[in-house]
Structure 1
Amino acid sequence: MHMDDLGAALEALNKAAELAEKGENIKPAIDNFNKFGFINLELGKRENAIFYIDRVARLLKSVQYPYGEAVHKYLMARLKLEENYPLQAMELIDEATKLSNDKNLTNNLQMSLADIFLFLDRFDDAEKIYNSLLVNSDDLERFYLEAKANLGLANLNFEISNLEKSVEYGERALQIANQNNYHKLAFQANEFLTTGYESLGQYDRSLLHLKNLVKVKDSSFTIEKVKEQTKTTDRITIEQLKNLTSVQEEKIEKLSQSENRAEITAILTSAFLTIISLLAVSLYRNNQIKIRTNDLLQTKNSELEKARDDAISAMKAKSNFLSTVTHELRTPLYAVTGLTHILLEENPAAHQKEHLKSLKFSGDYLLNFINDILQINKIDADKVEPLKVEFKLKNVLTDVIDSLQQNAVEQETKLILNYDNTIPMNMLGDPLKLSQIFINLVGNALKFTKNGNVDVMAKLIRHEGEQVKIHFEVKDDGIGISEEQQKKIFDSFEQGSIQINREYGGTGLGLTIVKSLLGLFDSKIQLESQPGFGSRFFFEIEFKSEEPKVVEVTPNVIDPEKVDFSGMHLLIVEDNKINQVITKKMLVKKEMTCDIANNGFEAVDKAKETSYDCILMDIHMPGMGGTEATMEIRKFNKEVPIIALTAISMEDSVEEFINAGCNDVVTKPFKPEVFYEKIAENIIKVKTASQA
C-alpha cells in the first residue's frame, strides 16, 4: 500500500472480504473493513472511510476482538485529528494501546501520537517519539516508519525555526522513500524540501526539489491514476452497500414466506390451546407462590442496595475528608519547614540549633505521615494507575539502595543488593511506584534491624519473548514478626503491637501502601518471619522487556550550590501571606529579586508588563487558580519557565499542570535544595534553547 499500489490493494481486500462473508467469520471481516477504512483515509475519501469504520463498530458489538477494536480506535483517532480534536484523538490512541501489543500497530499508534504532540506544539514529547521510531525494529514497516519519523522531525524543526536541521531530516526522509518506492512519501518530502530550502534562501536547491516534485507527480500521481484509484474505491464501496442491501432483502423474503405459513400455524396452535389452558390452571397457583417469594426478595434487595449506597457514600465522605485535611495541612506545614530552614541558615546559637533541628525532624515526620495518608486515599479511591514507560530496573533498585545507605549507617547495618545480571536491561512499567514499594520495604527492614544485614534481591524467573517474570525479595535479620502479628501487619495503621509503635515509631501505613501498589502490578506481597530471626518479604512481577529505542544520554545534574542566581528576577504567585514571605526570603537568600501576585488575575497582568526569568505558580487560589493563569500566560508568552508550587490533593494531577503549560511541579512543602535545583534547571534550559 505504501508503494502507491492502492488500487491493487483494494481489489485484493475486496476478494478477501467476499471470502470472509461466505465463511461468516466476523474477525477476518473486521480486519478487512479496517483495512478498507485505512486505504480510504490514505486516498482522502473520508466519507468512504467513515462507512467502513461504522461497519466495524457494528461488528465489534457481536464479538470480543481486542486487536480489531484497537485498529478501529486508531482509525477513529486519525479522523479526530483531521477534525482538529487532538485531545479526543489522544484518548483514543491511549485506549487502543491498552487493547493490543501488536508491534506494528503500536508503532503506528506512536507515530500518530507524535503527530498529535506536534499539532499541540508539545515539541519535546513529539521529538522523543519520532526519535524512538527512527530505530524501530518493525518487521512489516521498518523503513516506512523511519521515513515518516524523519519527515515528522523535519516538520518539527521547521516549526521551531531550526531550518538547517529540518532540511537534513527532510533529505533523509526523501532518500528512504526513493530507495523503497514510497511515492507518496517522496512527494511529501520533495514538497517540504522545496519550502525548506526556500526559507533558507537556497533557491537553487528549492528549484531542484520543485522539479523533483513535478517528476513524482508525472510518474505516480497523474490525474488518470488518481481517477482510477478513486473509481476503484467508489466501485468497491458501492458493491459493499449492495451486499448489505441484498442481505436485508433476503431477510424480508424470509419474513414474507413465514406469513404464508401463518394460517397453518394458527390451526395447529388452536389444537394445543385446550391442553395449554389446562396446564395454565395448575401453573397459576405456583405462580402466585413465586410472586410472593419475588416480592420478599425484592424487599430484601432494596434493603441491601440502600446499605450498599450508604457504604459508598460513607467511603466517599471519608476520602473527601482525608483529601481536604491532608491538603490543608500541607500549607501551614510549608510555613513550619520553610521558616525552620531559614532560621537554620541564619547561624543560630548552639542551643537554638538543637531545637530547630528537632523542629525540622518533626516537620519531616509529619510530612511523611501526610503523604502516606494521601497515597492510601488515592489508591482506595482508584485515583492511581500504573504508568507504562521504559526504564532500567537495576538503576531503580540502585537509586533506592543509595538513598537509604545513610539510614543503614545509623543502624550499623549492611544494605546489600543482589541483582541477577541475566535480567534484560530495559523494562516497560512504572519505575516510580516500584521505587515506592522498595523504599517502604527496605526502610521498614532497616528500622527493625540493628547491627545486622538487609538484603535486596532481584532474580530472573522466566524470559519468553518480550515477557519477563522477576522474583523480588527484601530480607533482614531484625526482630522478626510473630505469626499472630503477620495476620494484620498489612492493614492500615497496624504495627504489630503498641510496644513496637512506642519503641520504633512510624505510621503503620508503609506495608499497606506496598500491598496496594503491588495490586496495581497484579502481584501479591508474601511474608515469612519468626520472632528473633528476621523477616523475608517477597513477590513476583511480570514486565515487558523493551529493546532500547534511543541512545541514552545522561542528563547533566545541576548543582544549585554552583549556580549564580544573582540578578534573576522571579514572580511569586501565592495567596497565602506567610508563604509569600517564606518564598521571598528563600529567593533573597540566593540574591534573587521578585514580585508578588496575590492571585491568577494579578499574575497574568504582571506577566504582560514585566519580563521574568521564572514564575512560581501556586495552583489553588481564589478567583483564577494557577492552572487557568498558566494557560492565559501561555497565550502571549511561551518561553518563560513556569514552576507549579502546590500542596497536591487527591483530585490534582501533575499531568494536568504540565498540559496547562507548566514546565515543572514542586510539591509543598519542599526541600530547599530541590526548590533551588528546579529553578536553576528550568531557567538554564530556556536560556540554552534560546541560544541554540
Structure 2
Amino acid sequence: MIFNFVNKSLGKNLPFLLCTILCTQLSFAQSEENSISNVNDILNEFIQYRHENKVNKALETLNKAANIAERNEDTNLLIDIYQQMSKLLLEEGDRETSEFYWSRASYYLKDNPYPLGEAFQLYMDAALRFDEGNNFQALKQLEEARKVSNNRNLTNNILLLEANIYSNIEKFDDAIKNLHALIVNSDNEERAYLATRANLELGKISVTLDDLEEGVIHSKAALELAEKHGFSKEIKNAFEQLSSIYEADGNYREALRYSKGLAQIKDSIFNIEKVQLDSDTADKTRFDHQMNEMNKLQAKNEELSESKNRSEITAILTSAFLTIISLLAVSLFRNNQIKLKTNDLLYTKNKELELARDAAVSAMEAKTNFLSTVTHELRTPLYAVTGLTHLLLEENPSEHQKEHLKSLKFSGEYLLNFINDILQINKIDAEKLEPLSIEFKLHKVLTDVVESLQQNANEKNTELILDYDRTIPGKLLGDPIKLSQIFMNLVGNALKFTKNGKVEVIAKMLNKDEDQVKLYFEVRDNGIGISEEQQKNIFESFEQGSIQINREYGGTGLGLTIVKSLLGLFGSTIHLESELGHGSSFYFEMDLDYESKQGEEVVFELNPEEFQFKGLHVLVVEDNKINQVITKKMLTKKEITCDIANNGNEAIDLAQKNSYDAILMDIHMPGISGEEATRQIRKFDTNIPIIALTAISLDDSLDSFYEAGCNDVVTKPFKPEVFYQKIGENIFRSKMQGSV
C-alpha cells in the first residue's frame, strides 16, 4: 500500500529524482578524490620547498593541507602534517615550536591507531632527544620506530639521523655504513636530498679522521647534487666545508674561491630579511593553529549551549572562558617570543662556557704533561751533578774547593727536592697516587724521619724530639712511604721556621679495636707562628704566607699542599693551630689496620756500620754512559766491583751466565724496560736482590716495580748515603735470611 502511495505521489518525477541522487553521489565522490589528489600535490610542493630551504613557503603549503584535513576530518593526514611541521621547525632551530606541533600530533595519536604516525612520532622524539644531547636515548627511540613501521622514506630518515648520532659519539664506522647506504638509496620522495645530506656528513667525518682527500670528494659530490636540485642550504654547507678543507690542506687558492662563493650565497639567499620572514611565518602558523583550537572549543561550547536551550548562565560562563583562553593565548604567544630569544642567548653562552671549559681542561693536561716531562728529564743531568760532586768531595779537595763543592751539593739537593715536590703535586693532580697496604713499623718510620732531619735541627740549634706511645702495635698495615713523606714535610717545615727552639713529633693511640687502631699525630714547634690571615691559604700550592717569608726562609711552598693531598688519600684531614710569635701545631688522626696475632719472628735490623761492602760484586744495568761512570765510581769507593749492562737484554744474559750479589736495575731504557728485564730474571733467579734505580715519571708506579720482582727502589738522582744504605740492607738481609 505504501508502494502505491509513493508511486502515485512521485509519478513521472521518480526518474528525475533518482538521477539527481546519483549525480550528487558521483559529484561527492569526485570532490573527495580531487581533495585527496590536491593534498598529495600540496605535500609534494612542501617537500620541494623544504629541500630548497624556502621555509615560509613550506609552512604555508602545510597550512593549506591542514585546512583540507580538518574539513575532511582526516585525522591521519592532520597527524602527518603536524609531524612534518615539527621536523621542519626543529631543522630550522625552532625547538619550542617544534615541540608544540609534536605534542599536537601526540594528542591525536592517543585515540587513533595509525602505525606510520606512531613510528614517525618515535622518530621525532629521537630527533628532539638528539637535539638536547641525549644520544643513547635517541638511538633507543629510533630502534623502536623501526619496529612499528617499515615505510621506506621513514627508514631512510632514521638511517640519516642514526648516522648523525653515531658521528656525534665517534662511532664513525657505523655512521659511514649508514651514509653509504643513503648515497645509493631508492627513496621515491627524497632520493637526491638524502644522498646530498649523506655526502656532506661523510665529508665532515673524513675531515675528522684526517682524510682530507676523501673529504673533498664527498663534499664536491654533495655540492653537485645540491646545485642540480636547488638545495640552497646544502649548497651553502658544501661551499663552507670545501673552503675549510682546502684551508686545512694548505690549498689557499681553492679555499679563497669557495669562501668567495660562500659569501655570494649568503648575500643572495641567507639574508636577514629571509630569516625574519621565516620566523614570522612560523609564529603566524602556530598562532593560527592555536586560534583554530580555540575556535573548535567555542563551537563545541555553542553546541552545548543550544542543547541546554541556550541557558543564559552557560553562555556567560562560556564567553568568560573563551575570553580568558584568548588572553592566555596572546600572552603565551608573546612569552614564547621572549623565551625563544632567551633560549638562543642561553644556548650561545652555554657553548662559550663549554669551549672555555674544554680549553681549561686541555691547558691543565698540557701543563701536567709538560711538568712531568721536564721533571723527569732534569733528573738525568742532575744525577751527574750530585754524583760527581759527591765523588769530588771524597777525593780530598783543597779547602777553597771544598767550600764551592758543598755549595754545589746543597744547590743540587735543593733542586732535587723541588723536582720531587713538582712530580708529587703532578701525580696528585692527575690522580695517579693510591695508598699501599703493606706491613711496616711505625716507630722505625718516625725514627728514620727524625734522624734524617737531625742535622737540620742542629744547624738551627733546635731540639728535635720524638714522643712515641709504646702501646701502639709494633706492626701496622698501611703505606710507610707516603707516611714518611707526610712527616718529612711537616717536620722539615717546622724546623725551617724554628730557631733556638724545640720541635716535637708526637704519636699517640686514641683507640684500639680487634684489628684497627685510631692514632693521633702532631708536629709542634715554638717558632715564628702563622697569623690568622695567613692560615686561610697556607695549604694552597706555592703559598708561604707572604713574600717576605719566602725571601727570608726560601722553599717552594709545596710541602703543606702535598701533606694535605696525601692525607686525603688516607681519608684524613690536617688541622692547624697557631699564634703569631708563639709557634704552630699541625695535627691529624688516622685509622690503620694491624695484625692482632703476631707470631715470633727473626728481626733483621742492620746498622750502616755493620755493612761489609768489600768484595761484593754487582751488576749495573744503565743505558746512559755518564750515569754508568758515576755509579761505577761510587761503588768503587766502597770497594764493590761491578759489570755494566747497557740494556735489558744484556742484563738478562749476564745474570744467567754470572753470579752477582745484587742487580742495580735502571727502569727506563731503550728496547725492553727494566721492569720486563726483572720479570725475565725472576724466572730463573728468585733470590738475588734487585734494586730499581729510576727517575720516576708521572706514569710510573712503585707498585708495578715491586710486582715485577724488585726488592727496593732508589729514585735518581739519589743521595750517596741512601744509595749505600739500600744496597747494604738488601744484600745483607738476603744473606742473613738465607743463613737462618
Q: Give the TM-score range, shorter chain.
A: 0.5 to 0.7
1:633 paired to 2:665: no
* Equivalent residue, structure 2, for 1:531: 580
Corresponding residue to 2:489 among 434, 440, 445? 440
1:620 paired to 2:668: yes
For each residue in 1:154-173, what CA deviation from the matched residue of structure 2 results, as whole angstroms up to 9, or x when unmatched? xxxxxxxxxxxxxxxxxxxx
Asked if 2 retains the 8 angstrom alpha-carbon contact of 1:560 and 1:677, the reply is no
Provide the secondary structure at the position in 2 that maps to 1:475. strand
Distance of 2:643 and 2:625 partners within structure 1: 13
Query: What's the offset of the Cα at 1:581?
Result: 0.8
What pairs up with 1:165-176 in 2 under 5 angstroms? none
1:679 paired to 2:732: no
Corresponding residue to 1:670 among 691, 699, 718? 718
Query: What's the offset of the Cα at 1:325?
Result: 1.1
Asked if 2 retains the 8 angstrom alpha-carbon contact of 1:426 and 1:548, the reply is no
Q: 1:555 to 1:585 in 2, by over 3 A?
A: same
Query: What's the offset of the Cα at 1:392?
Result: 4.6
Query: What's the offset of the Cα at 1:636?
Result: 4.2
Provide the secondary structure at the position in 1 that maps to 2:718. coil
Provide the secondary structure at the position in 1 that maps to 2:707. helix
* Equivalent residue, structure 1, for 2:524: 475
Asked if 1 retains the 8 angstrom alpha-carbon contact of 2:514 and 2:596, the reply is no
* Equivalent residue, structure 2, for 1:659: 707
Query: What's the offset of the Cα at 1:687?
Result: 5.0
Distance of 1:461 and 1:586 partners within structure 2: 46
Amino acid at match of 1:438: F
Distance of 1:684 and 1:443 partners within structure 2: 31
What pairs up with 1:222-233 in 2 under 5 angstroms? none
Corresponding residue to 1:416 among 462, 465, 473? 465
Distance of 1:424 and 1:603 partners within structure 2: 42
Provide the secondary structure at the position in 1 that maps to 2:407. helix
Q: 1:689 to 1:424 in 2, by over 3 A?
A: closer
What pairs up with 1:582-601 in 2 under 5 angstroms? 582-601=630-649
For each residue in 1:56-84, what CA deviation from the matched residue of structure 2 results, as whole angstroms up to 9, or x when unmatched? xxxxxxxxxxxxxxxxxxxxxxxxxxxxx
Query: What's the offset of the Cα at 1:284?
Result: 9.5
Amino acid at match of 2:694: T
Asked if 1 retains the 8 angstrom alpha-carbon contact of 2:647 and 2:670, the reply is yes
Amino acid at match of 1:473: E
What pairs up with 1:245-284 in 2 under 5 angstroms? none
Corresponding residue to 2:556 among 498, 507, 526? 507
Distance of 1:330 and 1:678 partners within structure 2: 19
For each residue in 1:359-378, what CA deviation from the matched residue of structure 2 results, as whole angstroms up to 9, or x when unmatched? 21221111111111111111
Provide the secondary structure at the position in 2 that maps to 1:474. strand
Q: 1:624 to 1:462 in 2, by over 3 A?
A: closer
Asked if 2 retains the 8 angstrom alpha-carbon contact of 1:560 and 1:673, the reply is no
Query: What's the offset of the Cα at 1:467?
Result: 5.3
Provide the secondary structure at the position in 2 that maps to 1:540. strand
For each residue in 1:585-627, what CA deviation from the matched residue of structure 2 results, as whole angstroms up to 9, or x when unmatched? 1222233333322222333343344443433221112223222
Query: What's the offset of the Cα at 1:382?
Result: 0.9
Amino acid at match of 1:397: L
Distance of 2:659 and 2:470 partners within structure 1: 52
Identity of paired residues, percent? 70
* Equivalent residue, structure 1, for 2:623: 575
1:556 paired to 2:605: yes
Query: What's the offset of the Cα at 1:304?
Result: 3.0
Pairwise CA RMSD of aligned residues?
3.4
Is there any run of 5+ residues in structure 1 with no aligned partner, and where? 1-273
Distance of 1:605 and 1:361 partners within structure 2: 40
* Equivalent residue, structure 1, for 2:75: none
Q: 1:611 to 1:312 in 2, by over 3 A?
A: same
Distance of 2:713 and 2:696 partners within structure 1: 10
Query: What's the offset of the Cα at 1:551?
Result: 3.3
Asked if 1 retains the 8 angstrom alpha-carbon contact of 2:564 and 2:574, the reply is yes
Structure 1-normalised TM-score?
0.54
Provide the secondary structure at the position in 2 that maps to 1:542. strand
For each residue in 1:465-491, what CA deviation from the matched residue of structure 2 results, as whole angstroms up to 9, or x when unmatched? 655444433222211222232222222
Structure 2-normalised TM-score?
0.51
Distance of 1:289 and 1:603 partners within structure 2: 75
What pairs up with 1:424-503 in 2 under 5 angstroms? 427-463=476-512, 466=515, 468-503=517-552
Query: What's the offset of the Cα at 1:287?
Result: 8.4
Q: 1:404 to 1:315 in 2, by over 3 A?
A: same
Q: 1:310 to 1:365 in 2, by over 3 A?
A: same
Asked if 2 retains the 8 angstrom alpha-carbon contact of 1:413 and 1:451, the reply is yes
Asked if 2 retains the 8 angstrom alpha-carbon contact of 1:477 and 1:534, the reply is yes
What pairs up with 1:43-192 in 2 under 5 angstroms? none
Asked if 2 retains the 8 angstrom alpha-carbon contact of 1:426 and 1:547, the reply is no
Provide the secondary structure at the position in 1 that maps to 2:498. coil
Q: 1:689 to 1:308 in 2, by over 3 A?
A: same
Amino acid at match of 2:671: G
Distance of 2:719 and 2:727 partners within structure 1: 13
Amino acid at match of 1:675: F
For each residue in 1:404-427, what CA deviation from the matched residue of structure 2 results, as whole angstroms up to 9, or x when unmatched? 333223222223344455656554
Distance of 1:419 and 1:591 partners within structure 2: 39
Asked if 2 retains the 8 angstrom alpha-carbon contact of 1:558 and 1:680, the reply is no
Amino acid at match of 1:668: K
1:387 paired to 2:436: yes
Distance of 2:683 and 2:513 partners within structure 1: 50
Provide the secondary structure at the position in 2 that maps to 1:602. helix
Distance of 2:619 and 2:711 partners within structure 1: 15
Query: What's the offset of the Cα at 1:318?
Result: 1.2
Query: What's the offset of the Cα at 1:676?
Result: 2.8
1:376 paired to 2:425: yes
Asked if 1 retains the 8 angstrom alpha-carbon contact of 2:661 and 2:689, the reply is yes
Asked if 2 retains the 8 angstrom alpha-carbon contact of 1:618 and 1:646, the reply is yes
For each residue in 1:219-245, what CA deviation from the matched residue of structure 2 results, as whole angstroms up to 9, or x when unmatched? xxxxxxxxxxxxxxxxxxxxxxxxxxx
* Equivalent residue, structure 2, for 1:362: 411
Distance of 2:627 and 2:671 partners within structure 1: 18
Tell me how many residue pairs correspond in the alignment.
417
Q: 1:587 to 1:412 in 2, by over 3 A?
A: closer
Provide the secondary structure at the position in 1 that maps to 2:432. coil
Provide the secondary structure at the position in 2 that maps to 1:368. helix
Provide the secondary structure at the position in 2 that maps to 1:537. strand
Distance of 1:632 and 1:522 partners within structure 2: 38
Asked if 1 retains the 8 angstrom alpha-carbon contact of 2:507 and 2:521, the reply is yes
Query: What's the offset of the Cα at 1:403?
Result: 3.2
Q: 1:416 to 1:469 in 2, by over 3 A?
A: same
Provide the secondary structure at the position in 1 that maps to 2:672. coil
Asked if 2 retains the 8 angstrom alpha-carbon contact of 1:569 and 1:592, the reply is yes
Asked if 2 retains the 8 angstrom alpha-carbon contact of 1:457 and 1:472, the reply is yes
Q: 1:552 to 1:299 in 2, by over 3 A?
A: farther
Q: 1:289 to 1:635 in 2, by over 3 A?
A: farther
Distance of 1:505 and 1:673 partners within structure 2: 25
Q: 1:320 to 1:469 in 2, by over 3 A?
A: same
Kindly name which structure, 1 or 2, has the bigger radius of gyration based on alpha carbons: 2
Distance of 1:422 and 1:637 partners within structure 2: 41
For each residue in 1:38-65, what CA deviation from the matched residue of structure 2 results, as whole angstroms up to 9, or x when unmatched? xxxxxxxxxxxxxxxxxxxxxxxxxxxx
* Equivalent residue, structure 2, for 1:35: none
Provide the secondary structure at the position in 2 that maps to 1:539. strand
Distance of 1:468 and 1:569 partners within structure 2: 44
Distance of 1:640 and 1:630 partners within structure 2: 11
Q: 1:559 to 1:496 in 2, by over 3 A?
A: same
Is there any run of 5+ residues in structure 2 with no aligned partner, and where? 1-299, 302-321
Distance of 1:328 and 1:375 partners within structure 2: 15
Provide the secondary structure at the position in 1 that maps to 2:618. strand
* Equivalent residue, structure 2, for 1:50: none
Q: 1:597 to 1:519 in 2, by over 3 A?
A: same
Corresponding residue to 1:336 among 370, 385, 388? 385
